[in-house]
Structure 1
Amino acid sequence: MRQAVFEALYEVARKNEDVILLVSDTGAIVLDQFRAEMPERIINVGIAEQNMIGVAAGLAMEGKKVYAYAIIPFVTMRCYEQIRVDLCCESLPVKLLGVGPGYDYSTLGPTHHGLEDMALMRALPGMQVFSPCDETQARVFMDLVLDHPGPSYLRLDRTGTPLIYAPGDKDFTAGWRELRKGRGLCIVATGGMVRTALAAAEALAPTLGQIGVIDLYRVKPLPEETLWQTLSTYTRVATLEEHSRIGGMGSAVAELLAERAPGPRLMRLGLADQVCRQYGSREDLLTIVGLELETVTRRLRAFATT
């Protein structure tokens, strides 16, 4: 997904000379063409993310369309005060590109795991939060946020993922999409967990019937009215995310359902309030914390039948 994002950003920059990319000593081969053709519009600030946000704010105040890229913990947590004060308090149109959601950087340990970022970004005034599930969405989002007047945060997978949307699909303004219609139970997922949700719904269909699956790709601002219209037709809703259960997408849906009660019963599937200190691949860690397909399917079955 990261490669697709920078390919799309390269095309956006070719069409708009005000586009500038800031990086914090984080390399990607796909950026070589950007550097070769537009060297004056890519700035490596070094491992200094707090300073990067200040630089981004200054450039944005001069009319530039700034994208700032780093690994998720470093583009959100390390520079959180600067984002809040420099970007959000001033409503500046800086686009933060965070790569490595959940356990994407699995073997680098807890310092590089992106488990709390959506909660942090949701809390900031005026911040948009996007969580694409595939490269088709990620490419479109590069252009979608270009002219947004305030700050935006995009949560991006490091590697390529199987496509859920057709390459030519460009309409992602609604904030969510019902990928599978169902009755009774609906799974609301975001990011990479959308594939897990679709696979679980398929596995459960022979015994539980059609299960709905929604891709909630814009976590903030939440598309409350349209989302509620669909969720209210179900009796049970389960949220699924590779993020802490505290403050993330599941919390956003819980807030919506609580304010519109009575409504469907809710179960939130996500990461527990603890640090994962085990070593392994992303798949290994997801199995350890209970977010692999088998455990998710088992928990959904129990939720739907009790």
Structure 2
Amino acid sequence: MRNSLANSIIQKAKVDPNLFLIVGDAGLGLFDTFQVDFKEQYLNAGINEACSVGMAAGLALSGKKVIYYNIAPFSLMRPYEQVRNDICYQELPVIVVGIGSGLTYAPAGVTHYAVEDIAIALTIPNLQIFSPCDANETVACFEYAYSSNKPSYIRIPKNGDPIYNKSVDDITKLQEIKMGESKIAFVTHSNLITEVMNAADHFDASVYTMPFINSKFNYDDVLGKYQYVFVIEEAFEYGSLGSYIREYSKINVNKIGIKNHFIHKIGNQQFLRKLLKIDSCGIIERVKDSM
């Protein structure tokens, strides 16, 4: 997914000299070609997050369309004030990219988790939030965000994820990934979809993704026909997509995610998913308990 995003940025830079990329000592190797071919449109600002976002805002005010690329906790959470005041208050065309959504960087510990970033982002007016499930949705989210000229936050995991959304149409809508025969629907985002798809087979449930987290989509039109709707996330249950759908629809949403507490155990992503019961077996167990 990172490679797909990087390729999209490079292709866009070829046709838009106003694109400007700021990285925070991340993406090393990923943007080597960009540094050479577009050296006047690139800056590695180092471990300097608040200042980087401030620079992004200044460049946007001078006519640039800026992308700030860093690990998720350091692209949004550390410079929260600057994202809020410098970018979103002024509605500037800046895309904040957060790499390592959810528990992607699990071995690095809690400082590198991004499980509360959606909840934080949802508190900021004017900020579009995207959480694609695969490379196709990643490209679609970037294209939408770039053309919108609005403040945007795109959170993505790393590479190696299969393609689930074969044909991305309108990312402001729920994406139908699998149509089941039961009265159960699973809604998810990011690469937890791998676990969700496996769990869905157990119930013959339908599966949808929502790459545009705070889209003003009418969920009732699609989800109203289901007896049970589960929003399943590698994110805090409180304040993420499940909470957003509850707020803006009449759907009786069951939330399956991470409880709002610090995770003190260390392991890889799969270890933590199992521990937190958001792997496929844990999802099956929690769905059964809720029905």
| TM-score normalised by structure 1 residue count | 0.91
Counterpart in the other structure of 2:186 = 187
SS at match of 1:160: coil
By how many angstroms is 1:274 displaced? 1.2
Question: Is the contact made by 1:130 and 1:154 (CA closer than 8 Å) also made in structure 2?
Answer: yes
| TM-score normalised by structure 2 residue count | 0.95
Counterpart in the other structure of 1:208 = none
Q: Once the two structures are superposed, what CA deviation does each residue of 1:19-53 show, in whole Å capped at 9, x if it has no partner?
A: 11001111331211101111111101111110011
Instruction: Give, in whole Å, the separation in 2 of the partners of 1:184 and 1:143.
Output: 34
Runs of 4+ with deviation above 6 angstroms: none
Question: Is the contact made by 1:12 and 1:143 (CA closer than 8 Å) also made in structure 2?
Answer: no
Question: Is the contact made by 1:128 and 1:151 (CA closer than 8 Å) also made in structure 2?
Answer: yes
Instruction: Give, in whole Å, the separation in 2 of the partners of 1:162 and 1:178.
Output: 16
Counterpart in the other structure of 2:265 = 278
RMSD over aligned CA atoms reads 1.4
Residue correspondence of structure 1 range 28-47 to structure 2 within 5 A:
28-47=28-47
Matched AA of 2:90: E
Matched AA of 2:117: D
Question: Is the contact made by 1:222 and 1:252 (CA closer than 8 Å) also made in structure 2?
Answer: no
Instruction: Give, in whole Å, the separation in 1 of the partners of 2:101 and 2:9.
Output: 20
Q: Give the gaps of 5 or more residues in structure 2.
A: none
Instruction: Give, in whole Å, the separation in 2 of the partners of 1:204 and 1:268.
Output: 17
Residues matched between the structures, number: 290
Counterpart in the other structure of 1:288 = 275
User: Which deviates further from its counterpart, 28-37 or 173-182?
Assistant: 173-182
Residue correspondence of structure 1 range 1-306 to structure 2 within 5 A:
1-166=1-166, 169-182=167-180, 183-205=182-204, 211-223=205-217, 225=218, 227-257=219-249, 260=250, 263=251, 265-304=252-291
Instruction: Give, in whole Å, the separation in 2 of the partners of 1:58 and 1:252.
Output: 31
SS at match of 2:160: coil
SS at match of 2:170: coil
Question: Is the contact made by 2:141 and 2:212 (CA closer than 8 Å) also made in structure 1?
Answer: no
SS at match of 1:218: coil
Matched AA of 2:215: P
SS at match of 1:59: helix
Instruction: Give, in whole Å, the separation in 2 of the partners of 1:185 and 1:28.
Output: 43
SS at match of 1:145: helix
Matched AA of 2:104: D
Matched AA of 2:287: L
Q: Percent identity?
A: 28
Instruction: Give, in whole Å, the separation in 2 of the partners of 1:11 and 1:201.
Output: 36
User: Which deviates further from its counterpart, 180-189 or 239-248?
Assistant: 180-189
By how many angstroms is 1:142 displaced? 2.2
Instruction: Give, in whole Å, the separation in 1 of the partners of 2:253 and 2:112.
Output: 30
Q: Give the gaps of 5 or more residues in structure 1.
A: 206-210
Instruction: Give, in whole Å, the separation in 1 of the partners of 2:97 and 2:123.
Output: 17
Question: Is the contact made by 1:204 and 1:301 (CA closer than 8 Å) also made in structure 2?
Answer: no
Instruction: Give, in whole Å, the separation in 2 of the partners of 1:61 and 1:76.
Output: 20
Question: Is the contact made by 1:228 and 1:256 (CA closer than 8 Å) also made in structure 2?
Answer: no
By how many angstroms is 1:147 displaced? 2.2
Question: Is the contact made by 1:23 and 1:44 (CA closer than 8 Å) also made in structure 2?
Answer: yes
By how many angstroms is 1:78 displaced? 0.7
Instruction: Give, in whole Å, the separation in 2 of the partners of 1:77 and 1:155.
Output: 12
Instruction: Give, in whole Å, the separation in 2 of the partners of 1:131 and 1:141.
Output: 8
Instruction: Give, in whole Å, the separation in 2 of the partners of 1:302 and 1:4.
Output: 38
